[in-house]
Structure 1
Amino acid sequence: MKHLLVTGGAGFIGSNFVHYWFTHHPEDRVVVLDKLTYAGNRANLETLEGDPRLRFVAGDICDAPRVQSLLEEERIDTVVHFAAESHVDRSIAGPEPFIETNIRGTFVLLEACRRYWEDEASDCRFLHVSTDEVYGTLAPDDPPFTETTPYRPNSPYAASKAGSDHLVRAYYHTYGLPVLTTNCSNNYGPYQFPEKLIPLIITRALEGQSLPVYGDGQQVRDWLYVEDHCRGIKAVLERGQLGETYNIGTRNEQRNLETVGLVCDILGSIYPERAEQFRSLITFVTDRPGHDRRYAIDPARIERELDWRPVENFETGLRKTVEWYIENRAWWQALRARQTLTFPSR
């Protein structure tokens, strides 16, 4: 039986991971620590409410006494660290929360684990979930990012994640903390906050609103279905080499305009009477500052060493995602009613 602390477990990827983990490890104990900022949502874990295997704690990863007490009370042996400020546009408008949460928060967690695991670290794991944005941007003909690609972050968000990655690495080499790092490509799927590109396009299209596309829409992203990402994290936790980094991607490069068009086509197949309308809603808007042109991940290492492969291709994963947002209108309509959403950052 494992005792997991999942930070940011009420967010998009974190909540998907909690559901996925219980499906495959029903005997384990999971403690979710989440500050419940705008993107954290208790409703993401609603089906687990009352489950004795799950404890939810509303709290900040920067609260060192709270983190330390949770490790001790729950006898935590595995930390999966999702908690982060992650929206590029918000980091441009106000970078301070990104520095506080992504860098200081990661430091607090590392320090707490170092103290608590000092005599039993060999049986423990600290997995830090990061992003491909730390590597910067790629030219059209550049090879995809690998684990040895130099860091060149281009936004306050990416810089804060790069800083946290370096802290995690340092705690392994300096203190021997049993850490692992994953850098993933763009995730999509159920429970994603509807200001990110794919859910924003789905929800606005369903309501007949304009579909904003930055610049010329030719930015390239490598899309990863969230459950495939969870499977990758599980593989790294269970079989990854301590101190190492594993890039999780799908070799699935899509231009943003193509992605928006595919969402429209899937919606059109579900609502044929509105098929022509969906694409007519596409609207080009002024590009944002420092917009990275292309991301792409080479997942060869995790494929070769951990035998991980994605289950979903882009079209099957995207159709599942569209259908989920159609079936869960109350979930995203409640979020949109109480939040001011920005345009998508990816």
Structure 2
Amino acid sequence: MQLESQLSDRAVFVTGADGFVGSHLVDRLVNYGADVHVFVRATSSGELNNIRHHSDDVTVHRGDLRDKHSVSEALRALKGRSDSLIFHLAAQAHVGESWDRPYETVDTNVNGTLNLLQSIVDLDLDIAKFDTAGTSEEYGNVKAEMADNHEFDEEGRVLLSERSPVNPTSVYATSKLAADFLTMNYHDAYGLPTVTTRMFNNYGPRQNPRYITGTIITQALERDIVELGNLTPKRDLCYVSDGVRGHLHVALEGNAGQQYVYGYGENLSMREWTEMILDVGTEHGYWETPEIVQDDDRFRPGDSDVEELLVGYEKLNEETGWEPQVSWREGIRRTIEWYAENSDSWYGRVDWR
């Protein structure tokens, strides 16, 4: 069944709706005619940034995930609605900042998830699916003593799936793993129809410029050098529209109590990713090829960096037919175009000045 026909007039609640992935999910839900409820952090200005163009199309609930009362009051909108969907995308999602703000990271990502799940139980909501967005960072590096429990492809690369051991190496990754387990605890204890999804390194328009793709593009647009941290780790990068489709397929067609992982299905080093971005930008006339500079000050603390991430998304593909549709070079082109045309959205947020 087409996604659109399953979402028309359906109540859908999205946390982190004004964020990077959340805003793209809201775009899709509004286009499909869903009854969209968005939960965004209350601020003094009350401004929406990424979904302002949908202000007349969504119901906005302002609060804070860390405040159980505001979470319960927002979810009360689903009372009496059957078959509703909840997408939990809100999080402190930056690995580096999780070391600078460890308490806020744990409070938001762990207690925030707990507040949502417990509120659903307290309100006795009738929901069809609750999707907690996890992260590929939860896998971390392969421990020698656990190597026999991992799968490897024909080239000897570790292939990460729903069956792979986890080994979080940052405050962020540990907090997200805890959120995943809480999500499954509430399925086992209360029968909530929960699922967890681990996306592998989404990128695209509207992403915070402090993430790798944004920091490469914004530096290249503004100067002749691109200063980066460790360029040897390998990542599996998935364009945001494919990531959003993954969430929708899991919520509508996935099985409760299950985990689903997905990404592009191929990886490359951060140096190779940087070179590809700079090549695409040069090809389309956005810059002359800048120099790549590795800066030790931009490395992750100690041994906390994850060496290699590569997804095997067979489970999601077999159950729902999902597969990535946007190539790396096309996704990069779209992303550069957005940053080039929307400097007001990121100029004051970069960390390289």
State the TM-score, normalizing by the size of structure 1: 0.89
2:109 maps to amino acid: N
1:181 maps to amino acid: T
1:275 alignment partner, SS class = coil
Q: Give the whole-Å Cα distance in 2 for the aligned partners of 1:262 and 1:2.
A: 40
Residue in 1 that maps onto 2:102? 95
2:237 alignment partner, SS class = strand
1:304 aligns with 2:318: yes
Report how far residue 204 of structure 1 moved: 1.1
2:351 alignment partner, SS class = coil
1:58 aligns with 2:73: no
Report how far residue 342 of structure 1 moved: 6.8
Q: How does 1:196-275 map to 2 (within 5 A)?
A: 196-208=211-223, 210-215=225-230, 217-271=231-285, 274-275=287-288
Q: Give the whole-Å Cα distance in 2 for the aligned partners of 1:58 and 1:209.
A: 41
Residues 221 and 294 of structure 1 are in contact (CA less than 8 Å); yes or no, is this contact kept in structure 2?
A: yes
Q: Give the whole-Å Cα distance in 2 for the aligned partners of 1:79 and 1:73.
A: 12
Q: Give the whole-Å Cα distance in 2 for the aligned partners of 1:148 and 1:132.
A: 13
Residues 117 and 183 of structure 2 are in contact (CA less than 8 Å); yes or no, is this contact kept in structure 1?
A: yes
Residue in 2 that maps onto 1:12? 20
Q: Give the whole-Å Cα distance in 1 for the aligned partners of 2:73 and 2:248.
A: 26
Q: 1:211-267: per-residue Cα shift (whole Å, max 9, x none)?
A: 12223x111000000000111111111110011011011112011011111111111
Q: Give the whole-Å Cα distance in 1 for the aligned partners of 2:26 and 2:71.
A: 19
2:235 alignment partner, SS class = strand
After superposition, the Cα gap between the structure-2 partners of 1:36 and 1:325, relative to the gap in structure 1 and judged at 3 Å, is farther
2:324 alignment partner, SS class = coil
1:135 maps to amino acid: Y
Q: Give the whole-Å Cα distance in 1 for the aligned partners of 2:61 and 2:334.
A: 30
2:37 maps to amino acid: V
Residue in 2 that maps onto 1:283? 293
Report how far residue 36 of structure 1 moved: 6.3
1:107 alignment partner, SS class = helix
Question: Please, what is the CA RMSD of the aligned residues?
Answer: 2.1
Report how far residue 142 of structure 1 moved: 3.9
Residues 130 and 181 of structure 1 are in contact (CA less than 8 Å); yes or no, is this contact kept in structure 2?
A: yes
Q: Give the whole-Å Cα distance in 1 for the aligned partners of 2:285 and 2:323.
A: 32
Bigger shift: 184-193 or 136-145?
Answer: 136-145
1:341 to 328, 348, 351: 351
Q: 1:111-150: per-residue Cα shift (whole Å, max 9, x none)?
A: 00122235x3xx5211111101111125993421110112
Identity across the alignment (%): 30
Q: Give the whole-Å Cα distance in 1 for the aligned partners of 2:221 and 2:142.
A: 33
Q: Give the whole-Å Cα distance in 1 for the aligned partners of 2:123 and 2:194.
A: 14
Q: Give the whole-Å Cα distance in 2 for the aligned partners of 1:196 and 1:237.
A: 27
Report how far residue 46 of structure 1 moved: 2.0
Q: How does 1:65-84 map to 2 (within 5 A)?
A: 65-75=69-79, 77-84=84-91
2:17 maps to amino acid: G
Q: Give the whole-Å Cα distance in 1 for the aligned partners of 2:64 and 2:224.
A: 36
Report how far residue 304 of structure 1 moved: 0.9
1:129 aligns with 2:144: no
Q: Give the whole-Å Cα distance in 2 for the aligned partners of 1:43 and 1:182.
A: 25
1:117 aligns with 2:98: no
1:13 maps to amino acid: V
Q: How does 1:314-333 map to 2 (within 5 A)?
A: 314-333=328-347
Residues 117 and 124 of structure 1 are in contact (CA less than 8 Å); yes or no, is this contact kept in structure 2?
A: no
Q: Give the whole-Å Cα distance in 2 for the aligned partners of 1:203 and 1:31.
A: 32
State the TM-score, normalizing by the size of structure 2: 0.87
1:19 alignment partner, SS class = helix
Bigger shift: 53-62 or 136-145?
Answer: 136-145
Q: Give the whole-Å Cα distance in 1 for the aligned partners of 2:138 and 2:166.
A: 6
Q: Give the whole-Å Cα distance in 1 for the aligned partners of 2:87 and 2:317.
A: 21
2:262 maps to amino acid: I
Residue in 1 that maps onto 2:185? 170
Q: Give the whole-Å Cα distance in 2 for the aligned partners of 1:214 and 1:163.
A: 28
Q: Give the whole-Å Cα distance in 2 for the aligned partners of 1:167 and 1:205.
A: 41
Q: Give the whole-Å Cα distance in 2 for the aligned partners of 1:196 and 1:251.
A: 20
Residues 39 and 74 of structure 2 are in contact (CA less than 8 Å); yes or no, is this contact kept in structure 1?
A: no
2:167 to 142, 147, 152: 152
Report how far residue 161 of structure 1 moved: 0.4
Aligned residue pair count: 325
Residue in 2 that maps onto 1:184? 199
Q: Give the whole-Å Cα distance in 2 for the aligned partners of 1:129 and 1:115.
A: 22
Gaps of 5+ in 1: none
